[in-house]
Structure 1
Amino acid sequence: MNKRKRFQAMLPVLLILLLAAAGCSSSGSGSPPPAAGTAPAAAESPATDEPETSHPAEETGGEPVTIKILYPWGEGAFEERYRGIESLLPNVKLELVDSRAELEPLQELNAQQIVPDIIFANWGLAPLYELDMIEPLDALIAKHRFDLRTLDDSLVASIRAMDKEGQGRMMGIPIQYSPYGIWYNKEVFDKFGVEYPGERMTWDEVIEMAKQMTAERDGIPYRGLEMGPGMASGEVTVPLQQLAVNLTDPDTGEVRIDKEPAVAKYLDLMKRIYSIPGIVSPDPEARTDYEFPKKNVAMIVTWIEYLRWGVGDPEVAANMEAAPLPVWPDAPDAAPPAGSNLLVINKYSPHKDEAFRVLMAYLSPEHQTELAKIGDAPPLFNNPDVVSRFGESVEIFNGKNVSAFYKRKPALPPAKISPWDKYVDIGGSMLKFSQSNMDIAEFLRVLKEESEMKIREARSKSG
């Protein structure tokens, strides 16, 4: 899989994590959960005015040890993203287990008695839950005095909400936080004489800008806004994600979209966007991929790495720039809850302490800075020194205002993310919504019925 397709494949996983944490990422977990963003007492750091810095190198003495990391994208990408950890942990050697964290590959490894110590769970936690392969990290966090305050509250809360037993445990550590924002094309803005996006735009203001630039010029049809291919997938749900609600009851699976005011609020916004003549291309082919790289779209709501994986050519991107994510008026600084794929310690690892030191090293500012330079969005996004280095070694990001993507603070997720939300396909239903005359109540009724049927089928298959 090439890098662009790899990242496009990862995006739905991140979206599902933020909306529901099911499907590609399993969620949930058993005693009363802590308040969102808080840690169980055993994992709390000592109370100080400033977060302590965790130093993985302080405990690296002892016998040499090999830590096996399951990673699916080959030796080259593994070397680029993990090998530098060895310089921080002199007694540790890292070994690639080139496989995927899906059910069948994991079962094959288990049958061969190959035990990865750390698992890159980019297909979510569901297969790891099924095989009972997750070591919750709270005891190791306390033992090694790792300061969770180096991570944003929203990111920690999102990970705790993935504990399917409802205990709010840390099921892994994040590999990255890919924030949403706007990439815009200055050429299109100049052609229509519209001011460039500002630092504090509401969705209402974006709609007005999109109206002005959805028109034909010199025989070319332009569109003012794109939110996923065809305005009907992926990023189209970003405004809903900002509202940080479950679509289903996490315990019962009841579909609640017709009872959740945030959903109606979101659909009203989208109805106004879809009412802009020409905003949705009538050409089915044009709806299969992003149009922004063709330079006939003014703005795209997307994730920070899109310029690299979606546009790719620095010459094409020469007049493209970044702006912060638009906001709701009553939540003037909120981004979607911070989500991430996880690095998980295998419950059956014989080297759990050493594996946790590797995770600490992965999250160290030193290693995160190196990853940021090559365009991997760092989970330490509350560390301005790390964030400021994003894309430093990638030509297409040179001179771009990438810090705009970090202007919004992620909202806290629900205390328990519903594993049933993946069966409520709002993103996949938006094309039908955009092309129909259904009012919001009717659309919700139809989507609710479809979602309930999917949930019943899923339950019958799982027994």
Structure 2
Amino acid sequence: MVINKQRKGDMNMKSAKLSIAALLAIVLLAGCGSGNTNKQGAAGSDSGSGASASPAAASGSAAASAEPASYKKLGDEPLTLTFYSTSGTFPDVEFNTLIADPIHAKYPNVTIERITPAANTTNEEVLSTYTPDIIYSSSSSHANIIRTGVYEDLRPYIEKFGFDTSRIKPILWNYAQELTKGKGDQIWIIPFNANQHVLYYNKDIFDKFGVPYPTDEQQTWDDVIEIAKKLTRTVNGVHYVGLAVDNLSGLAKGLGLSITDRTEGNSTLSSDPGWLRTFELQKKILEIPGYVGPDNFWNYGRDQFMKDQTIAMRASWLANMVGPLEELRQQGVEFNWDIAPVPNFEDQLGVTREAQVHSLSINKNSPHKDEAFQVIAEILSDEGQLILSRNGRVPAVVNPALEAEYGTEIPVLQGKKVQNVFVGEPLQEHYTSAYDLGVSSALTDAAEGLAIGGLDVNTALRNAEEAINQKAESLRSTLGAP
């Protein structure tokens, strides 16, 4: 396990368009960027020193009568905070650009260092060995990190520093509250960004086979499958595949499906009709002529799209691809790709997949809780969220002016149809329990049965349900109630 120091240079952001800049200036001067009624910024400073700031009540409510009786102001003294990412795709180029560099630029006394665990080290091992001050998580780790007991209740800090939670997009804040359902009035996470889905497509493959690109309007799955059929073929020994979709777990995001029920942990595959539709859609994709490749390979993902460049279309998360594509570009590898709206079922057009919540939290064992929360508040300010938006992440806060700047600072998105990121309304992410995480491999097994095991939809669905319930029974003996 090592802790790598990250670069601390100032951010060199381009100027926003005049109208956007003017609007942001008005918003920031009004204090909306911080959630405070003064002009001090999200963590109580407008100068970067933090020396004279005092937190106030959230924007839209009465000002605090006095600053907190005792708290540590960010930037008063030299400080190093440690940061650990428990899940999701968060390469160093994004960590530096979105967190380490802007914080150090505003507070030269403050350095954010990233904990980089050794390969195959579990979150539990890291959190029992090290004490990261700030924890970055997503739905693929929230439930398990909750079980470690390291999340600090953020309610006292929200009140102490006058952090305005009403600025956070409702679908993200509702999810944050859902995590602590039945745990009292606690908050364990602050949403960092909304990780939305898009349809990536390789224009070179479309051009090679003379097929028109996907439209800028949301299409149905049936429409996209017809396009994929024209692009799935083997030419000169290269096997091209028209469509990759992150399989059953990815397709289920379009209907907001949970694998298990929250009260018992049992399978929902037979009780929720959405799962039958999802299995049927998966089967349609796998049955595209020529889809299954040499050696029965069928499980296509990021590497085949980004590195091999043999996938014509891929429906997936923004965060799963944009940062890695920028890293690839910096290594000198580029290709001609673009973005279209993610497809959905015909009766669900206008709605996109669930927006995954990437979040920031405080370790309850951190000796720097006040400062860690002030860093989080800075990142959630309009200034911090503008940096995030310009560099390819969808802001967590409600502010159309920030979304209008999406992708303007990250080279890999220049010239791309980034407006298609915002076509359709994303669903609120469902609560992903430790049971969901523990049984998810049954969906991969089911997809494999459909792809190369000769299974029909009903058999694959029934087998998956049996496997999920068996796994759930085992989990109950180790995890207890869901």
TM-score interval for Structure 1 and Structure 2 normalised by the shorter chain: 0.7 to 0.9
* Structure 1 residues 269 and 454: CA distance shift in structure 2, 3 A: same
Q: Deviation of residue 89 (structure 1)?
A: 5.5
- 2:250 aligns with 238
Tell me, yes or no, if the aligned pair for 2:196 and 2:354 is still in contact at 8 Å.
no
More off after superposition, 203-212 vs 393-402: 393-402
- 1:214 aligns with 232
- 1:324 aligns with 341
- 2:317 aligns with 303
Give the SS at the match of 1:358.
helix
Give the SS at the match of 2:478.
helix
Matched, 1:176 2:193: yes
Q: TM-score, normalised by structure 2?
A: 0.72
* Structure 1 residues 448 and 168: CA distance shift in structure 2, 3 A: farther
Tell me, yes or no, if the aligned pair for 2:201 and 2:312 is still in contact at 8 Å.
yes
2:206 to 171, 178, 189: 189
CA-to-partner distance for each residue in 1:163-194, whole Å, 9 max, x for gaps? 26455743112333332111112233234333
Q: Distance in 1 between matches of 2:112 and 2:323?
A: 29
Tell me, yes or no, if the aligned pair for 2:100 and 2:113 is still in contact at 8 Å.
no
Q: Distance in 1 between matches of 2:450 and 2:388?
A: 40
* Structure 1 residues 334 and 106: CA distance shift in structure 2, 3 A: same
Alignment of 1:64-463 (within 5 A): 64-65=76-77, 66=79, 68-71=81-84, 79-80=96-97, 81-88=99-106, 93-96=110-113, 98=115, 102-109=123-130, 116-121=132-137, 124-126=141-143, 128-163=145-180, 165=182, 167=184, 169-198=186-215, 199-216=217-234, 220-227=238-245, 234=246, 236-284=248-296, 287=299, 290-293=303-306, 294-305=308-319, 306=321, 309=324, 312-313=328-329, 317-375=334-392, 377-380=393-396, 382-414=398-430, 416-422=431-437, 423-425=439-441, 426-462=443-479
* Structure 1 residues 51 and 58: CA distance shift in structure 2, 3 A: closer
* Structure 1 residues 148 and 193: CA distance shift in structure 2, 3 A: same
Tell me, yes or no, if the aligned pair for 1:210 and 1:225 is still in contact at 8 Å.
yes
The amino acid that maps onto 2:192 is I
Q: Distance in 1 between matches of 2:91 and 2:297?
A: 32
CA-to-partner distance for each residue in 1:268-287, whole Å, 9 max, x for gaps? 11112222111222435675
CA-to-partner distance for each residue in 1:40-95, whole Å, 9 max, x for gaps? xxxxxxxxxx99432314364466253623336999876542242245458x7345
The amino acid that maps onto 2:123 is E
The amino acid that maps onto 1:363 is L
Give the SS at the match of 1:431.
helix
Tell me, yes or no, if the aligned pair for 2:43 and 2:161 is still in contact at 8 Å.
no
* Structure 1 residues 330 and 74: CA distance shift in structure 2, 3 A: closer
* Structure 1 residues 345 and 238: CA distance shift in structure 2, 3 A: same
More off after superposition, 348-357 vs 360-369: 348-357
- 2:42 aligns with 56
Q: Deviation of residue 343 (structure 1)?
A: 1.6
Tell me, yes or no, if the aligned pair for 1:175 and 1:379 is still in contact at 8 Å.
yes
Tell me, yes or no, if the aligned pair for 1:174 and 1:379 is still in contact at 8 Å.
no
Name stretches of at least 5 consecutive residues in structure 2 with no aligned partner.
Answer: 2-29, 35-40, 53-72
Q: Deviation of residue 253 (structure 1)?
A: 1.0
Q: Distance in 1 between matches of 2:204 and 2:365?
A: 55
Q: Deviation of residue 379 (structure 1)?
A: 3.4
Q: Deviation of residue 127 (structure 1)?
A: 5.7
* Structure 1 residues 138 and 335: CA distance shift in structure 2, 3 A: farther
Q: Of the two structures, which has the highest relative contact order with CA contacts closer than 8 Å and spacing of 6 or more?
A: 1
Q: Percent identity?
A: 28
* Structure 1 residues 56 and 307: CA distance shift in structure 2, 3 A: closer
Give the SS at the match of 1:96.
strand
Q: Distance in 1 between matches of 2:359 and 2:96?
A: 18
Q: TM-score, normalised by structure 1?
A: 0.75
* Structure 1 residues 412 and 370: CA distance shift in structure 2, 3 A: closer
Give the SS at the match of 1:224.
coil
Tell me, yes or no, if the aligned pair for 2:172 and 2:396 is still in contact at 8 Å.
no
Q: Distance in 1 between matches of 2:447 and 2:152?
A: 38
Q: Distance in 1 between matches of 2:221 and 2:91?
A: 41
More off after superposition, 366-375 vs 441-450: 366-375
Q: Deviation of residue 136 (structure 1)?
A: 2.4
Q: Distance in 2 between matches of 1:445 and 1:116?
A: 43
Tell me, yes or no, if the aligned pair for 1:380 and 1:386 is still in contact at 8 Å.
no
RMSD: 3.5
* Structure 1 residues 428 and 171: CA distance shift in structure 2, 3 A: farther
Q: Distance in 1 between matches of 2:281 and 2:470?
A: 27
Tell me, yes or no, if the aligned pair for 1:177 and 1:381 is still in contact at 8 Å.
no
Name stretches of at least 5 consecutive residues in structure 1 with no aligned partner.
Answer: 2-49, 110-114, 228-233
Q: Distance in 2 between matches of 1:401 and 1:273?
A: 25
* Structure 1 residues 118 and 67: CA distance shift in structure 2, 3 A: farther
The amino acid that maps onto 1:300 is R
Tell me, yes or no, if the aligned pair for 1:201 and 1:326 is still in contact at 8 Å.
yes
More off after superposition, 380-389 vs 260-269: 380-389
- 1:5 aligns with none
Q: Distance in 1 between matches of 2:185 and 2:199?
A: 33
More off after superposition, 263-272 vs 391-400: 391-400
Tell me, yes or no, if the aligned pair for 2:407 and 2:414 is still in contact at 8 Å.
yes
